[in-house]
A and B are shown apart, each in its own frame.
Chain A
Amino acid sequence: QVQLVQSGAEVKKPGASVKVSCKVSGYTLTELSMHWVRQAPGKGLEWMGGFDPEDGETIYAQKFQGRVTMTEDTSTDTAYMELSSLRSEDTAVYYCATPSTIVYDFWSAPIWRYFDLWGRGTLVTVSS
């Protein structure tokens, strides 16, 4: 049974960085395309970016480019999301999520059709 186990809650000051982890069990990370989705308190879901295992590149949502870095440690099957220059609006629950199967289009670009595997979420609070 596949599980995504996320790291615990964090409290950070404005301007700091936070690094959230997501450990995969029941699969190897190389079989998956890990994505990160966040949800501010009382707000909707927001896609931050995802990893293309075909070419080893990560695609970031335009809103977060330059401020977010998603990495993977395949030796421990752990994915990481680091967000820098934190501000109060970054207070949110951060989820790792992945499709259990990936399909590719004619140009070998991944098509992210859905996310059927989710971590439980990590609350990041940004407060002075």
Chain B
Amino acid sequence: QSALTQPASVSGSPGQSITISCTGTSSDVGGYNYVSWYQQHPGKAPKLMIYDVSNRPSGVSNRFSGSKSGNTASLTISGLQAEDEADYYCSSYTSSTVVFGGGTKLTVL
């Protein structure tokens, strides 16, 4: 089972918006509305930021939003802040298993 495809890195300045893509297939991202996104700071466990494509867990800033079109999901972070600098991973349910993306390093310039 292949990992979902994410850009290795993205960057933006404080206050700007960035979008991270996550491309899969019709068997995972395109086949289910069960895409989730995780934020991971160095040495820490991943933190759930978005679930079911576009829902935010309680306590997550509304600067984080998710969407999906076909086999590609996207995470958008608006009003970039220094603390948003981290690695971001997408994930999708797929036929009784789970697949993650390779991860994207977000740098806040």
Contact = CB atoms under 8 A, between A and B. Distances in A.
B97 A44 contact: no
Interface of A: 35, 37, 43-47, 50, 59, 61-63, 95, 97, 109-116, 118-121
B89 A44 contact: yes
Given A61-B1, A120-B45, A111 B100 contact: no
B45 A118 contact: yes
Given A47-B98, A61-B1, A113 B51 contact: yes
A113 B52 contact: yes
Interface in B80-109: 89, 91, 93, 96-103
B51 A50 contact: no
| Residue from the set A46, A114, A115, A121 with the largest chain B CB neighbour count within 10 Å | A114
Given A116-B51, A118-B45, A44 B98 contact: no
Given A44-B103, A59-B96, A118-B45, 9 more contacts: A35-B98, A45-B46, A47-B99, A111-B32, A112-B34, A113-B52, A115-B38, A115-B91, A116-B57
Report the contact-size class of chain B (Cβ under 8 Å from the partner): 20 to 34
Contacts of B46: 37, 45, 95, 97, 115, 118
Contact of A61 (B32, B36, B97): B97
Tell me which of A47, A110, A120 has the highest count of chain B C-beta atoms within 10 A of its own C-beta: A47
B48 interface: yes
Contacts of A115: 36, 38, 46, 48, 91
Q: What are the 10 tightest A-B residue pairs by CB atom distance, in nearest-first order?
A: A114-B51, A114-B36, A118-B45, A44-B103, A47-B98, A45-B100, A113-B34, A116-B48, A44-B102, A45-B89
A118 B51 CA distance: 15
B3 interface: yes
Contact of B91 (A63, A111, A114, A118): A114
B45 A95 contact: yes
A118 to B, nearest CB: 4
